[in-house]
Structure formats: C-alpha cells, structure tokens
Amino acid sequence: MRKDSIVFGVSGIFFGLLLGWIVGSQQSGSTLRSMPTPAPAAAASAPAPAQGSGAPAVVLDETQVRALETTAQANPNDEAVRVQLGNMFFDAERFADAIKWYEAALKVNPKDANVSTDLGVSYYYSNQADKALAQFEHSLTIDPKHTKTLLNRGIVRAFGKQDLEGAAASWQQVIDMSPDSNEGRAAKQALESLKSAHPTVTPGAGQ
C-alpha cells in the first residue's frame, strides 16, 4: 500500500486544516477540498477539483514506465507490475493513469485490500468522492479491519460528503480497532477536532 495513501496524509498540518474547515463550514456553509490541502473556509457547497497530494509531484521516469508497460502487456497476470505502475503515476499526481493501473491490478487480484484502497484514494484525488467511498466499501468487504481504509472513509465522508456523523463513526472504528497505530492516533486527533467544533456530533451514526 502507498505509504502516503491516507487522504490528506497523517500530519499535524492536516488536523489544523480539518479544524479550520469544520469551523469554516459552521460559519459559512460546507465545502470540499479534495485531499491533502482543503480550502478551509470556502462558502461553496459543491466539491472543488482535486489538486494533488500537497507534496511536490515526483518526476515520472518515462523510460521506466515504458519498460514496465511492456512487461505488463507480456504478463497479463502480473499484479505487481501493475501496482508498480499505479504507484509511479500516483507519485507523479497523474491520477487518471494511476486509476487505470490500480484497476488493472484489481482485475488480476480482486482481493487486494491495499490496492483497492489506493484506487479509492486516487478516485478522490480525481474529485470522485462517491467512487472513492464505494471503493473503500469494497476494501472493507475484503478486510473489515483495514484501518487505513476506515480513516480515509472518514475523511472523504467529512470533506467529500459533508457527513460529519459518518466521519466520526469511521474514525471511532479506527480508534476502537487500533488506538496506538498511526491511523488510530490520526483518527483520535481528527475526532477531537471535529467534536471541539461540533459538540453535538456523535460517532454513533453513519456506520
């Protein structure tokens, strides 16, 4: 799984932006800024286009890409090379191409929860929140305790669907399953930020 395939990344910057978005939405209507750098207080109710991961995009090695594509064509059942291509395009923020190769990898191995979740993240970077959430649900049918999926689902619910209770429910699941993991700590901070701005929001709804 991509080490950076958690929506917005697991970083202190995210939680400040999360809180800013929540406070901003309370004051001026809800907004979406797709993955890691949300527009905290915009007044729009519709999603803004995704603008990448917030980190500098990796320069794509086109020679390596062509070599891997040749390998993929010659080996239709090679999941690993398809995942590698997906990862390379993801790092270069060419998310349409990343989606293509993650989808191809899942055709080879539909039970890979990591690739499924990376695909969902790529959908969201492409401003396709509903497809991202659907893909996360597929990941959870493979592994119901996949904490990165649950953490991502919560963030997409909050930013992509303005479903704060649903987001809280997802983050609480992460905390319950793995409180001391990176994902658990991230979920705890996110949930605390959410509750500080919206005390009436509870994690009991939107499972």
Q: Answer whether residue 48 is part of any domain.
A: yes
CATH of residue 81:
1.25.40.10
Q: Answer whether residue 184 is part of any domain.
A: yes
pLDDT recorded at residue 28: 37
Q: In this structure, what token pair is assigned to residue 171?
A: 């983050």
| Residues 15-29 pLDDT 10s | 555 555 444 434 433
| Residues 92-149 pLDDT 10s | 999 999 999 999 999 999 999 999 999 999 999 899 999 999 999 999 999 999 999 9
Alpha-carbon distance of 190 to 194, in angstroms, equals: 6
Detail the DSSP E strand segments found in 2-111: 32-33, 47-48
H helix runs in 29-57, sequence order: none
Q: Tokens 């390998």 identify what position?
A: 71
Q: What is the pTM of this model?
A: 0.78
Going by the DSSP 8-state scheme, the letter that residue 56 receives in this structure is P
Domain around 32: 12-197
Quote the number of domains for the chain: 1
